Structure 1
Amino acid sequence: LQWSLRRATKAAQNTPQNAAELTMRAFIRMACAIRDEGIPAPLIINADQTQVILAQGTKSSYADTGAKQVDVAGQTEKRAFTLMLSVSQGGDALPFQAIYASKDPRRSLPKASSPGFTELVRQGHRFDVSGSSTYWATQSTMRSYVTHVAVPYLQRKKKELGLPESQRCILYIDVWSVHRSAEFRGWLRKAFPWLLLQYCPGGCTSL
Protein backbone atom coordinates (compact mmCIF):
# COMPACT_ATOMS: atom_id res chain seq x y z
CA LEU A 1 0.00 0.00 0.00
CA GLN A 2 3.06 2.26 0.26
CA TRP A 3 1.99 3.45 3.72
CA SER A 4 4.23 4.59 6.56
CA LEU A 5 3.51 5.84 10.06
CA ARG A 6 2.93 9.61 9.86
CA ARG A 7 2.13 12.26 12.45
CA ALA A 8 -0.97 14.40 12.03
CA THR A 9 -0.28 17.95 10.85
CA LYS A 10 -1.13 21.05 12.85
CA ALA A 11 -0.50 24.72 12.20
CA ALA A 12 1.99 26.30 14.56
CA GLN A 13 1.12 29.38 16.59
CA ASN A 14 2.18 32.51 14.75
CA THR A 15 4.37 35.10 16.40
CA PRO A 16 3.09 38.63 15.59
CA GLN A 17 5.13 40.47 12.97
CA ASN A 18 5.44 43.40 15.37
CA ALA A 19 6.42 41.19 18.32
CA ALA A 20 9.46 43.34 19.10
CA GLU A 21 7.28 46.44 19.36
CA LEU A 22 4.63 44.67 21.45
CA THR A 23 7.13 43.25 23.92
CA MET A 24 8.91 46.60 24.22
CA ARG A 25 5.61 48.31 25.03
CA ALA A 26 4.86 45.65 27.64
CA PHE A 27 8.33 46.16 29.11
CA ILE A 28 7.85 49.93 29.31
CA ARG A 29 4.43 49.56 30.97
CA MET A 30 5.93 47.21 33.53
CA ALA A 31 8.94 49.46 34.16
CA CYS A 32 6.73 52.53 34.64
CA ALA A 33 4.48 50.72 37.11
CA ILE A 34 7.47 49.51 39.11
CA ARG A 35 9.00 53.01 39.14
CA ASP A 36 5.81 54.94 39.87
CA GLU A 37 4.53 52.60 42.60
CA GLY A 38 7.90 51.64 44.09
CA ILE A 39 7.25 47.92 43.70
CA PRO A 40 10.05 45.63 44.94
CA ALA A 41 10.90 42.38 43.14
CA PRO A 42 9.20 39.98 45.61
CA LEU A 43 5.86 41.72 44.96
CA ILE A 44 5.86 40.95 41.22
CA ILE A 45 4.31 37.63 40.22
CA ASN A 46 4.64 36.04 36.79
CA ALA A 47 1.98 33.36 36.26
CA ASP A 48 1.11 31.13 33.33
CA GLN A 49 -1.00 28.08 32.61
CA THR A 50 0.10 24.85 30.99
CA GLN A 51 -1.68 21.71 29.91
CA VAL A 52 -0.84 18.47 31.72
CA ILE A 53 -1.87 15.42 29.70
CA LEU A 54 -2.91 12.28 31.57
CA ALA A 55 -4.01 10.26 28.52
CA GLN A 56 -3.27 11.50 25.01
CA GLY A 57 -5.28 10.66 21.92
CA THR A 58 -3.04 9.43 19.14
CA LYS A 59 -1.67 11.88 16.58
CA SER A 60 -0.34 9.16 14.31
CA SER A 61 -1.90 6.92 11.67
CA TYR A 62 -0.97 5.06 8.54
CA ALA A 63 -1.07 7.07 5.31
CA ASP A 64 0.63 7.19 1.94
CA THR A 65 4.39 7.51 2.21
CA GLY A 66 5.34 11.15 1.65
CA ALA A 67 1.88 12.48 2.52
CA LYS A 68 1.97 16.07 3.81
CA GLN A 69 -1.55 16.17 5.26
CA VAL A 70 -2.76 13.36 7.51
CA ASP A 71 -6.25 13.18 9.04
CA VAL A 72 -6.47 11.27 12.31
CA ALA A 73 -9.73 10.44 14.08
CA GLY A 74 -9.80 10.84 17.85
CA GLN A 75 -6.62 12.86 18.17
CA THR A 76 -8.34 15.45 20.36
CA GLU A 77 -9.80 12.84 22.69
CA LYS A 78 -7.57 13.13 25.73
CA ARG A 79 -7.66 13.41 29.49
CA ALA A 80 -5.82 16.40 30.90
CA PHE A 81 -5.93 19.27 33.35
CA THR A 82 -4.55 22.82 33.49
CA LEU A 83 -1.74 23.71 35.85
CA MET A 84 -1.35 27.35 36.91
CA LEU A 85 2.27 27.98 37.82
CA SER A 86 3.72 31.20 39.19
CA VAL A 87 7.00 32.62 40.43
CA SER A 88 7.90 35.95 41.96
CA GLN A 89 10.56 38.29 40.65
CA GLY A 90 12.27 37.65 43.97
CA GLY A 91 12.79 34.00 43.02
CA ASP A 92 10.05 32.28 45.02
CA ALA A 93 7.91 29.53 43.52
CA LEU A 94 4.29 29.94 44.59
CA PRO A 95 1.88 27.04 45.23
CA PHE A 96 0.34 25.67 42.04
CA GLN A 97 -3.31 25.57 41.04
CA ALA A 98 -4.63 22.48 39.22
CA ILE A 99 -7.85 22.95 37.23
CA TYR A 100 -10.01 19.96 36.30
CA ALA A 101 -12.96 19.80 33.90
CA SER A 102 -16.10 19.32 35.99
CA LYS A 103 -18.86 21.01 37.93
CA ASP A 104 -18.61 18.51 40.78
CA PRO A 105 -15.36 18.42 42.81
CA ARG A 106 -16.23 14.94 44.08
CA ARG A 107 -16.13 13.51 40.56
CA SER A 108 -12.91 15.05 39.24
CA LEU A 109 -10.52 16.17 41.96
CA PRO A 110 -7.98 13.84 43.57
CA LYS A 111 -9.33 12.13 46.67
CA ALA A 112 -8.19 13.35 50.06
CA SER A 113 -6.79 9.85 50.63
CA SER A 114 -4.50 10.10 47.58
CA PRO A 115 -0.78 9.84 48.42
CA GLY A 116 0.67 13.28 49.17
CA PHE A 117 -2.66 15.12 48.78
CA THR A 118 -2.89 16.30 52.40
CA GLU A 119 0.68 17.60 52.33
CA LEU A 120 0.09 19.49 49.06
CA VAL A 121 -3.00 21.18 50.48
CA ARG A 122 -1.08 22.06 53.65
CA GLN A 123 1.56 23.74 51.47
CA GLY A 124 -1.12 25.90 49.85
CA HIS A 125 -1.57 24.14 46.51
CA ARG A 126 -5.06 24.40 45.00
CA PHE A 127 -7.24 21.79 43.29
CA ASP A 128 -10.23 23.44 41.58
CA VAL A 129 -12.91 22.45 39.09
CA SER A 130 -13.60 24.67 36.09
CA GLY A 131 -17.37 24.51 36.45
CA SER A 132 -17.62 23.53 32.78
CA SER A 133 -16.86 20.67 30.39
CA THR A 134 -13.32 21.96 29.75
CA TYR A 135 -10.30 22.26 32.02
CA TRP A 136 -9.50 25.80 30.92
CA ALA A 137 -9.33 28.75 33.29
CA THR A 138 -12.64 30.41 34.12
CA GLN A 139 -13.78 33.37 36.18
CA SER A 140 -14.14 31.16 39.25
CA THR A 141 -10.73 29.50 38.89
CA MET A 142 -8.96 32.83 38.39
CA ARG A 143 -10.66 34.30 41.44
CA SER A 144 -9.64 31.21 43.39
CA TYR A 145 -6.03 31.56 42.24
CA VAL A 146 -5.84 35.24 43.15
CA THR A 147 -7.60 34.82 46.51
CA HIS A 148 -5.92 31.63 47.72
CA VAL A 149 -2.49 31.66 46.04
CA ALA A 150 -1.33 35.10 44.87
CA VAL A 151 -2.79 37.33 47.60
CA PRO A 152 -1.65 35.27 50.63
CA TYR A 153 1.89 35.19 49.24
CA LEU A 154 1.94 38.94 48.53
CA GLN A 155 0.48 39.83 51.92
CA ARG A 156 3.10 37.69 53.65
CA LYS A 157 5.88 39.32 51.65
CA LYS A 158 4.62 42.81 52.45
CA LYS A 159 4.81 42.01 56.15
CA GLU A 160 8.34 40.61 55.78
CA LEU A 161 9.42 43.78 53.96
CA GLY A 162 7.70 46.08 56.46
CA LEU A 163 5.42 47.55 53.79
CA PRO A 164 1.81 48.74 54.28
CA GLU A 165 -1.12 46.57 53.21
CA SER A 166 -1.91 49.16 50.53
CA GLN A 167 1.47 48.62 48.81
CA ARG A 168 0.91 48.02 45.10
CA CYS A 169 1.89 44.66 43.58
CA ILE A 170 1.90 43.25 40.04
CA LEU A 171 0.40 40.09 38.55
CA TYR A 172 1.85 39.44 35.08
CA ILE A 173 -0.30 37.07 33.00
CA ASP A 174 -1.09 36.40 29.34
CA VAL A 175 -4.01 37.86 27.39
CA TRP A 176 -6.31 34.85 27.69
CA SER A 177 -9.90 36.04 27.26
CA VAL A 178 -10.80 35.40 30.90
CA HIS A 179 -7.74 37.31 32.13
CA ARG A 180 -8.56 40.47 30.19
CA SER A 181 -12.33 40.32 30.59
CA ALA A 182 -14.15 43.28 32.11
CA GLU A 183 -15.68 40.89 34.64
CA PHE A 184 -12.35 39.68 36.01
CA ARG A 185 -10.68 43.09 35.95
CA GLY A 186 -13.70 44.67 37.64
CA TRP A 187 -13.73 42.02 40.35
CA LEU A 188 -10.00 42.46 40.97
CA ARG A 189 -10.29 46.25 41.29
CA LYS A 190 -12.97 45.85 43.96
CA ALA A 191 -11.51 42.89 45.84
CA PHE A 192 -7.81 43.79 45.74
CA PRO A 193 -7.33 47.34 44.39
CA TRP A 194 -3.61 47.22 45.22
CA LEU A 195 -2.97 44.34 42.79
CA LEU A 196 -2.11 45.63 39.30
CA LEU A 197 -2.53 43.51 36.17
CA GLN A 198 0.15 43.50 33.48
CA TYR A 199 -0.25 41.43 30.30
CA CYS A 200 2.14 39.48 28.12
CA PRO A 201 1.26 40.32 24.48
CA GLY A 202 -0.61 37.66 22.51
CA GLY A 203 1.61 35.15 20.73
CA CYS A 204 4.69 36.37 22.61
CA THR A 205 4.67 34.07 25.65
CA SER A 206 7.62 32.02 24.41
CA LEU A 207 9.78 35.02 23.47
Structure 2
Amino acid sequence: MRATTHAAQKLPVNVTEILTESYLREAWVIQNYSTVYQQGTKMTWDKTGNKQVAGVGKEEKRVFTLVPSISASGELLPFQAIYQGMTDQSCPSKKAAGYDEAKNTYWSTLETMKTLVGKIIAPYFERMKCTLGIEKPDKQMSIWKIDCWSVHKSEAFLTWMKKSHPTIIVLFVPGNSCAQAEHEMFSSP
Protein backbone atom coordinates (compact mmCIF):
# COMPACT_ATOMS: atom_id res chain seq x y z
CA MET A 1 0.00 0.00 0.00
CA ARG A 2 1.42 3.42 -0.96
CA ALA A 3 0.20 6.95 -0.36
CA THR A 4 -0.21 9.14 -3.41
CA THR A 5 2.30 11.96 -3.73
CA HIS A 6 0.76 14.05 -6.51
CA ALA A 7 -1.93 13.96 -9.17
CA ALA A 8 -1.50 11.37 -11.90
CA GLN A 9 -0.84 12.61 -15.42
CA LYS A 10 -3.98 12.38 -17.51
CA LEU A 11 -3.72 11.54 -21.18
CA PRO A 12 -5.54 13.89 -23.53
CA VAL A 13 -8.68 12.38 -25.07
CA ASN A 14 -7.15 12.81 -28.54
CA VAL A 15 -3.68 11.47 -27.68
CA THR A 16 -3.45 9.38 -30.87
CA GLU A 17 -4.31 12.42 -32.99
CA ILE A 18 -1.72 14.53 -31.14
CA LEU A 19 0.99 11.92 -31.67
CA THR A 20 0.08 11.52 -35.34
CA GLU A 21 0.19 15.29 -35.90
CA SER A 22 3.55 15.48 -34.16
CA TYR A 23 4.92 12.67 -36.32
CA LEU A 24 3.60 14.28 -39.52
CA ARG A 25 4.98 17.71 -38.54
CA GLU A 26 8.43 16.18 -37.99
CA ALA A 27 8.23 14.21 -41.24
CA TRP A 28 7.22 17.37 -43.11
CA VAL A 29 10.22 19.29 -41.74
CA ILE A 30 12.58 16.41 -42.61
CA GLN A 31 11.12 16.15 -46.13
CA ASN A 32 11.18 19.89 -46.84
CA TYR A 33 14.53 20.71 -45.25
CA SER A 34 17.71 18.70 -45.37
CA THR A 35 18.15 18.40 -41.62
CA VAL A 36 20.51 17.39 -38.84
CA TYR A 37 18.41 16.04 -35.95
CA GLN A 38 18.97 16.60 -32.23
CA GLN A 39 16.65 15.52 -29.46
CA GLY A 40 16.67 17.73 -26.38
CA THR A 41 15.13 16.83 -23.10
CA LYS A 42 15.26 17.15 -19.36
CA MET A 43 15.23 13.54 -18.22
CA THR A 44 17.06 11.14 -15.96
CA TRP A 45 17.60 7.38 -16.04
CA ASP A 46 15.34 4.91 -14.21
CA LYS A 47 13.52 1.66 -14.93
CA THR A 48 11.14 1.75 -17.91
CA GLY A 49 7.55 1.94 -16.75
CA ASN A 50 8.19 3.78 -13.47
CA LYS A 51 5.64 6.56 -13.09
CA GLN A 52 7.64 8.45 -10.45
CA VAL A 53 11.38 8.80 -10.12
CA ALA A 54 12.70 9.44 -6.65
CA GLY A 55 15.49 11.87 -5.90
CA VAL A 56 17.59 11.08 -2.83
CA GLY A 57 18.07 14.16 -0.67
CA LYS A 58 15.33 16.11 -2.42
CA GLU A 59 14.04 17.42 0.87
CA GLU A 60 17.50 18.81 1.67
CA LYS A 61 17.24 21.31 -1.22
CA ARG A 62 20.62 20.29 -2.64
CA VAL A 63 19.18 19.67 -6.04
CA PHE A 64 20.22 20.44 -9.56
CA THR A 65 19.01 19.75 -13.06
CA LEU A 66 21.22 17.75 -15.37
CA VAL A 67 20.29 18.28 -19.01
CA PRO A 68 21.54 15.42 -21.18
CA SER A 69 21.42 15.76 -24.96
CA ILE A 70 21.72 12.81 -27.29
CA SER A 71 21.80 13.09 -31.07
CA ALA A 72 19.63 10.90 -33.24
CA SER A 73 22.85 9.09 -34.25
CA GLY A 74 23.42 8.21 -30.59
CA GLU A 75 26.19 10.71 -29.81
CA LEU A 76 26.08 11.85 -26.22
CA LEU A 77 26.68 15.60 -26.05
CA PRO A 78 28.09 17.41 -22.99
CA PHE A 79 25.68 17.68 -20.08
CA GLN A 80 24.42 21.01 -18.83
CA ALA A 81 24.21 21.12 -15.01
CA ILE A 82 22.04 23.78 -13.38
CA TYR A 83 22.60 24.21 -9.64
CA GLN A 84 20.71 25.94 -6.87
CA GLY A 85 21.93 27.02 -3.52
CA MET A 86 22.75 29.80 -1.14
CA THR A 87 25.54 28.08 0.78
CA ASP A 88 28.86 26.48 -0.13
CA GLN A 89 27.41 23.08 0.84
CA SER A 90 24.60 23.30 -1.72
CA CYS A 91 26.68 24.51 -4.68
CA PRO A 92 29.47 22.87 -6.63
CA SER A 93 33.00 23.47 -5.45
CA LYS A 94 34.37 26.91 -6.33
CA LYS A 95 37.22 25.02 -8.03
CA ALA A 96 34.79 23.11 -10.30
CA ALA A 97 34.89 23.81 -14.02
CA GLY A 98 32.09 26.19 -14.94
CA TYR A 99 31.48 27.33 -11.37
CA ASP A 100 31.13 30.97 -12.47
CA GLU A 101 28.27 29.97 -14.75
CA ALA A 102 26.28 28.26 -11.96
CA LYS A 103 22.96 30.01 -11.49
CA ASN A 104 20.90 30.49 -8.33
CA THR A 105 18.24 28.09 -9.56
CA TYR A 106 18.04 24.44 -10.48
CA TRP A 107 15.30 24.86 -13.09
CA SER A 108 15.82 25.57 -16.75
CA THR A 109 15.34 29.28 -17.32
CA LEU A 110 15.49 31.44 -20.41
CA GLU A 111 19.14 32.21 -19.64
CA THR A 112 20.14 28.57 -19.03
CA MET A 113 18.38 27.55 -22.25
CA LYS A 114 20.30 30.22 -24.18
CA THR A 115 23.51 28.84 -22.66
CA LEU A 116 22.52 25.26 -23.59
CA VAL A 117 21.86 26.25 -27.20
CA GLY A 118 24.91 28.50 -27.51
CA LYS A 119 27.45 26.18 -25.91
CA ILE A 120 26.14 22.69 -26.72
CA ILE A 121 23.32 22.42 -29.29
CA ALA A 122 24.33 24.97 -31.95
CA PRO A 123 28.05 23.98 -31.87
CA TYR A 124 27.03 20.34 -32.32
CA PHE A 125 24.96 21.19 -35.40
CA GLU A 126 27.79 23.28 -36.85
CA ARG A 127 30.29 20.47 -36.24
CA MET A 128 27.96 17.95 -37.91
CA LYS A 129 27.49 20.21 -40.94
CA CYS A 130 31.28 20.33 -41.36
CA THR A 131 31.61 16.57 -40.80
CA LEU A 132 28.92 15.89 -43.41
CA GLY A 133 30.49 18.32 -45.89
CA ILE A 134 27.38 20.48 -46.20
CA GLU A 135 28.08 23.00 -48.99
CA LYS A 136 26.10 25.89 -47.49
CA PRO A 137 26.07 25.27 -43.73
CA ASP A 138 24.50 28.68 -43.05
CA LYS A 139 21.45 27.55 -45.09
CA GLN A 140 21.29 23.98 -43.69
CA MET A 141 18.29 23.49 -41.39
CA SER A 142 18.54 21.35 -38.24
CA ILE A 143 15.81 19.85 -36.02
CA TRP A 144 15.99 20.10 -32.25
CA LYS A 145 13.20 18.10 -30.60
CA ILE A 146 12.56 19.07 -26.99
CA ASP A 147 9.93 18.62 -24.32
CA CYS A 148 7.02 20.97 -23.63
CA TRP A 149 8.57 22.79 -20.66
CA SER A 150 7.08 26.26 -20.15
CA VAL A 151 10.44 27.97 -20.80
CA HIS A 152 10.89 26.00 -24.05
CA LYS A 153 7.47 27.04 -25.35
CA SER A 154 7.73 30.65 -24.18
CA GLU A 155 7.48 33.41 -26.74
CA ALA A 156 10.74 34.88 -25.41
CA PHE A 157 12.71 31.66 -26.02
CA LEU A 158 11.17 30.87 -29.41
CA THR A 159 11.65 34.45 -30.61
CA TRP A 160 15.27 34.34 -29.44
CA MET A 161 15.79 31.01 -31.23
CA LYS A 162 14.42 32.37 -34.53
CA LYS A 163 16.58 35.46 -34.29
CA SER A 164 19.79 33.91 -32.92
CA HIS A 165 19.65 30.46 -34.52
CA PRO A 166 17.40 30.69 -37.59
CA THR A 167 18.58 27.34 -39.00
CA ILE A 168 17.48 25.38 -35.92
CA ILE A 169 13.84 24.27 -36.10
CA VAL A 170 12.40 23.57 -32.65
CA LEU A 171 9.84 20.76 -32.52
CA PHE A 172 8.13 19.61 -29.34
CA VAL A 173 7.44 16.16 -27.97
CA PRO A 174 3.65 16.29 -27.45
CA GLY A 175 2.94 16.92 -23.77
CA ASN A 176 1.85 13.93 -21.69
CA SER A 177 1.79 11.64 -24.70
CA CYS A 178 4.95 9.62 -24.15
CA ALA A 179 3.24 7.23 -21.74
CA GLN A 180 0.53 6.46 -24.31
CA ALA A 181 3.06 5.94 -27.10
CA GLU A 182 5.09 3.60 -24.88
CA HIS A 183 1.93 1.69 -23.94
CA GLU A 184 0.95 1.29 -27.61
CA MET A 185 4.46 0.22 -28.62
CA PHE A 186 4.87 -2.45 -25.95
CA SER A 187 1.32 -3.74 -25.41
CA SER A 188 0.94 -5.56 -28.73
CA PRO A 189 0.87 -9.40 -28.40
* Same fold flag (TM > 0.5): yes
TM-score by length of 1: 0.71
**Offset at residue 19 of structure 1 (A):** 1.2
Inter-partner Cα distance in structure 2 for 1:177 and 1:32: 25
In structure 2, the CA distance between the partners of 1:6 and 1:202, relative to structure 1 (3 Å rule), is: closer
Inter-partner Cα distance in structure 2 for 1:53 and 1:174: 20
TM-score by length of 2: 0.77
Instruction: Give the corresponding residue for 1:177.
Output: 150
Q: Secondary structure at the match of 1:178?
A: coil
The amino acid that maps onto 1:45 is Q
Instruction: Give the corresponding residue for 1:74.
Output: none
Determine what percentage of the aligned residue pairs are the same residue.
Answer: 33
Instruction: Give the corresponding residue for 2:23.
Output: 27
Instruction: Give the structure with the higher percent helix.
Output: 2
In structure 2, the CA distance between the partners of 1:137 and 1:105, relative to structure 1 (3 Å rule), is: farther
Instruction: Give the corresponding residue for 2:43.
Output: 50
Aligned positions of 1:136-175 closer than 5 A: 136-163=107-134, 164-166=136-138, 167-175=140-148
Q: Secondary structure at the match of 2:69?
A: strand
Which has the larger Rg? 1
Q: Secondary structure at the match of 2:39?
A: strand
**Offset at residue 38 of structure 1 (A):** 1.5
In structure 2, the CA distance between the partners of 1:17 and 1:108, relative to structure 1 (3 Å rule), is: same
Residues 45 and 87 in structure 1, CA contact (< 8 A), matched pair in contact too: yes
Residues 62 and 84 in structure 2, CA contact (< 8 A), matched pair in contact too: no
RMSD: 2.7
Deviations 1:79-136 (A, max 9, x none): 321111111111211111111125x8978542254xxx55xx7xxxx9954444xx21
Q: Which runs of 5+ in 2 are unaligned?
A: 45-53, 182-189
Q: Which runs of 5+ in 1 are unaligned?
A: 58-76
Residues 54 and 78 in structure 1, CA contact (< 8 A), matched pair in contact too: no
Q: Structure 1 residue 84 and structure 2 residue 59: aligned?
A: no
Q: Structure 1 residue 203 and structure 2 residue 185: aligned?
A: no
Q: Secondary structure at the match of 2:151?
A: coil
In structure 2, the CA distance between the partners of 1:168 and 1:106, relative to structure 1 (3 Å rule), is: farther
Instruction: Give the structure with the higher percent strand.
Output: 1
Residues 84 and 91 in structure 2, CA contact (< 8 A), matched pair in contact too: no
Aligned positions of 1:182-197 closer than 5 A: 182-197=155-170
The amino acid that maps onto 1:165 is P
